[in-house]
Amino acid sequence: MSKRILLVDDDNGILRAMSLLLRSEGFTVVACVDGLKAMGALDEAACDGAPFDLLVTDVHMPAMDGLALLEHLRDAGQQIRTLGISGQGDKDTVLGLMRQGCQDFLDKPFNDIQFLEMVRTVLQREAPGRSHAAETQLLAEIGRYRRDMVTMQERIHSAQGEFLNLMAPEHSLPIPLKLNIRPLQEMGGDLFLTNVRGNLCDILVGDVAGHDQGASYMALLVKTFFEEACRNCAAGHEILQFLNQSLVRQKSLRMVTAMHIRLDLLTRRVEIHNAGHVPMIRIPSDPRRMPEAIHCPSVVLGIFDSPDLAHDSFVTEPGDRFAVCSDGLYGLNRIHGSTGESEEYGLMGLLSTIVRHRDLPLDQLADSIWRDALVFSRHKTQDDLLLGLFEMP
């Protein structure tokens, strides 16, 4: 009798390829595009007395991810073999799978031979099993852990809200602005800071390496240093030099990229000083002119005592728009199911998205870029995301 395998992956191309391969090897395959459908298939198979021999599941999926599916499997007492697959095989992902009882892990992209060998290896192992007493004790411990986790999540969400309030730009900005921020975890290290003095509007876009509370702490320090420099009426290059000296004194091992943008609302002049940050994009109000990236390559902050900062300056037209982001947006990627190759969103992806939607009002343009970028990566992120759009009056 052939082994029964349940496949779960939100990428239809990968799902079809795996299904065809396994069926060609004589396996009976049921394929599901998300965790919720797979949960129904698991429960139905258990009720029919014909449980699956193996569950192969992607980790990062909408609706219900692979970790939640494995947790349901364990809580329901269904003891079947499991194999996790992911294109983001970091340490936290592997540890999460192990905690949920997953027996093995395969990192995308993989070829047919690697996949079949791993499937056969897992099928040769004994299905997991526990005594009733051990299972009861484990379920009680899980209940306690869940209650503790709920309390911890409530505290984290409260801290996240306070952090985002602290990092929010001023409400009294004299320019149209739309900002989208999405931390990868906890509070994140992406920055969008503003300061207004008369006809001058200062904007600092930054990115602190890391996704933990340490990155958030460093982001708050950068905000403090920026506000202090603005109080001293520093020029753009002086602000970044002040930030750099402050970070060097902190002896932090975290890299910080930053771009300072000064808008003179009377002369409509834009002045940029950059320290390792990704390019700003100019979207001309004249529809005959194409959006363009303003490249200012330079080194990051906090490493050298006196870094060389890139500089650019130009006069804009009324209605010119500008897009700034963190490298997390450029780094969005997806795996092609037919080839297994990875494609990055990058600068060209952002530019083409802007071209498609440039006629929309500013808020709608920002939201359309944000939506299209996440759709490109199938809502799977590996870094903090920040996108800010503003317009010269």
Residue 123's contacts (CB-CB under 8 Å, 6 or more residues apart) are 3, 53, 54, 81
How far are the Cα atoms of 13, 105, 208, 213 from residue 384, in angstroms, in the given order? 27, 25, 10, 13
* Stated pTM of the model: 0.60
Contact 296, 310 (CB under 8 A): yes
Instruction: Domain count for the chain, please give it.
Output: 2
Question: Is pLDDT at 183 greater than 60 in this prediction?
Answer: yes
Question: Is pLDDT at 64 greater than 50 in this prediction?
Answer: yes
Question: Is pLDDT at 170 greater than 70 in this prediction?
Answer: no
- Residue 274 β-bridge partners: 259, 310
Q: Is 82 buried (19+), middle (13-18) or exposed (0-12) by CB count in 10 A?
A: buried
Contact 300, 255 (CB under 8 A): yes
Query: Percent of the chain at pLDDT above 90?
Result: 40
**Domain, as residue range, for 237:** 170-391
For residues 259 and 314, membership in a common domain is answered with yes
Q: Is residue 36 in a domain?
A: yes
For residues 310 and 230, membership in a common domain is answered with yes
For residues 332 and 193, membership in a common domain is answered with yes
Q: Is residue 358 in a domain?
A: yes
In whole angstroms, what is the distance from residue 42 CA to residue 72 CA? Answer: 10
Q: Is residue 160 in a domain?
A: no
For residues 289 and 201, membership in a common domain is answered with yes
pLDDT tens for 345-358 read: 999 999 999 999 99
- Residue 235 β-bridge partners: none
Question: Is pLDDT at 214 greater than 70 in this prediction?
Answer: yes
Question: Is pLDDT at 250 greater than 90 in this prediction?
Answer: no
Q: Is residue 137 in a domain?
A: no
For residues 360 and 230, membership in a common domain is answered with yes
For residues 327 and 221, membership in a common domain is answered with yes
CATH number of the domain encompassing residue 74: 3.40.50.2300
Contact 56, 6 (CB under 8 A): yes
For residues 180 and 326, membership in a common domain is answered with yes
For residues 225 and 366, membership in a common domain is answered with yes
pLDDT tens for 321-369 read: 999 999 999 999 998 877 778 899 999 999 999 999 999 999 999 999 9
For residues 77 and 215, membership in a common domain is answered with no
Q: Is 65 buried (19+), middle (13-18) or exposed (0-12) by CB count in 10 A?
A: buried
Give the end of a domain, one of 129, 158, 187: 129
